[in-house]
Amino acid sequence: MINALVVYGTRYGATADTSEVIAGVLRQEGFEVRVVDAKKDKVQSISEFGLVIVGSGIKMGKWTKEPEKFLGKYQKELSKKNVALFVCCGSAKPLTEGEEKIREMENGKRKYLEDKAVQYNLNLIALGFFGGIFDFNKLSWIMKKTLSGVKPKLEEAGFKESKSDIYDLRNLVTIRNWAKDVAQMVK
C-alpha cells in the first residue's frame, strides 16, 4: 500500500473540500491517505509518503502562505518524491469568452503551478488547475465592494448560486478524474 499526503491551504473552503475529494479517490485506488490543513497542523516528516500532493487556494494572485512554507521546508526531499500540485482559483474558470479565456487560463496555470514548480525545483507528475468557490458571505466589506461586478458575470457565464451568495466553479468530475490519473501514475 502506498502512503499519500495531501497538504493544503485554503481561505474559503474550496481547497479543503477539493483535498478531501482527492483523498477519497486515492483511498478508492488503494492508497493510505493523510490530509493536512497546513494552517492547523504541522507535518513532522514526509519520509513515509510515496506520493505528496500540495494544494492552495488563490487570492489576490497568490498561494496561501502555509503550503508555500511546506514546499520550502521540504524542497530537497520533495525532489525525490512523486509530487503533484493543484490550485483552486477563479482564473481556472474565466468569465470571458474565446481567445481571452484561453489566454487567462494558460496564464493562471503557468503562474500558479508551473512557476511554483520551478521556484521549488520540483519534478512534478501532475498539475491540477481547478475552479474555486466564490462565497460572498465570507468576504470583508471591502472585498464585497471590489468583487461586486463578479456576481452578474458569474450568472451570465451560467454559474448558479449553490446556496445564498455562494458560487461553486469547480467541476468535481474533473477533480476526481485528475486524482485517479495521479494514482495510476504512482502505482
List per-residue pLDDT tens for the chain, 187 residues long. 899 999 999 988 899 999 999 999 999 999 999 999 999 999 999 999 999 999 999 988 899 999 999 999 999 999 999 999 999 998 787 666 678 778 888 999 999 999 999 999 998 999 999 999 888 898 888 988 888 888 888 888 888 888 888 989 999 999 999 999 999 999 9
Backbone angles phi, psi at 165, to 5 degrees: 65, 25
| Half-sphere exposure of residue 16: CA atoms within 13 angstroms, side-chain side | 8
Q: How far apart are CA 102 and CA 92, in angstroms?
A: 10
pTM to 2 decimals? 0.92
Per-domain residue ranges of the chain: 3-132+169-186, 136-167
Closest C-alpha among 65, 69, 61, 56 to residue 6:
56
Q: Would you tell me how many other CB atoms lie within 10 Å of the CB of residue 59?
A: 15
Instruction: Fill in the DSSP letter of residue 92.
Output: G
Pairing of strands 51-59, 32-37: unpaired
Indicate the CATH number of 3-132+169-186 among 3.90.550.10, 3.30.1330.60, 3.40.50.360, 3.40.50.1220: 3.40.50.360
- Non-local (6+) Cβ contacts of 124 within 8 A are 83, 84, 85, 117
